[in-house]
């Protein structure tokens, strides 16, 4: 069981694959998981419209910028993903609050706000990425894993703060904390 993500990664590299560009516009880009529709018969992210080909989202982040990649489950509450970039594991989405197959469909903002759906945000530095994923926990129905869902990724990119900006922020926060502590001692 521990080798399934590795097998999916190998199937992704060796088998049919679909790579989609991911724009840094904060818009959701959907993926599917379905072991019966996947070309490999496994649980990697797939492009259901491309004969179940394994799916990755490709993007670059320029020097002087950082990106926030958000991954969310939306198909059925109870799913959890392992997220990779090439052969590097970025991490896992959160443990969902349920394993019941409730669904918000393609309303990924609603799923992100609902603790029954797993999600994760990853901060990425400048570089080139090919992000893919694997279903490591499935929602169940009557105790049987569904092994089918839909999820999404989105990317936002921001400039790295200048050191002087970061110092100003820290100084301001320190001053705010000092004034707040002083106010508390006066009101006692």
More confident residue, 123 or 12: 123
Categorize the per-residue pLDDT at 174 as very low, low, confident or very high, splitting at 50, 70 and 90: confident
pLDDT the model gives residue 26: 93
Which one, of 142, 135, 23, 1, lies nearest residue 73 by Cα? 135
More confident residue, 135 or 188: 135
Q: Which CATH number fits domain 4-160: 3.30.1120.10, 3.30.70.580, 2.60.120.380, 3.90.245.10?
A: 2.60.120.380
pTM of the shown model: 0.78
* Beta-sheet pairing, 17-21 with 53-61: parallel
Gap between the Cα atoms of 141 and 4, Å rounded: 22
pLDDT tens, position by position, 103-157: 888 999 999 999 989 999 999 999 999 999 999 999 888 888 999 999 999 999 9
Helix segments in the chain, DSSP class H:
4-14, 108-113, 163-186
């Amino acid at each position: 069981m521990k080798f399934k993500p590795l097998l999916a990664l190998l199937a992704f590299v060796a088998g049919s694959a679909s790579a989609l560009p991911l724009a840094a516009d904060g818009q959701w880009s959907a993926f599917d998981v379905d072991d019966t529709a996947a070309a490999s018969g496994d649980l990697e992210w797939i492009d259901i419209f491309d004969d179940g080909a394994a799916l990755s989202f490709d993007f670059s982040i320029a020097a002087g910028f950082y990106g926030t990649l958000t991954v969310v489950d939306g198909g059925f509450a109870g799913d959890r993903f392992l997220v990779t970039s090439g052969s590097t594991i970025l991490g896992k989405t959160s443990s969902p609050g349920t394993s019941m197959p409730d669904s918000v469909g393609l309303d990924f903002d609603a799923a992100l706000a609902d603790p029954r759906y797993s999600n994760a945000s990853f901060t990425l530095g400048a570089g080139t990425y090919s992000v893919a994923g694997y279903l490591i926990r499935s929602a169940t129905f009557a105790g049987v894993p569904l092994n089918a869902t839909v999820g999404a990724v989105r990317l936002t990119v921001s400039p790295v703060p200048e050191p002087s900006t970061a110092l100003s922020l820290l100084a301001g926060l320190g001053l705010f904390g000092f004034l707040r502590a002083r106010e508390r001692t006066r009101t006692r």
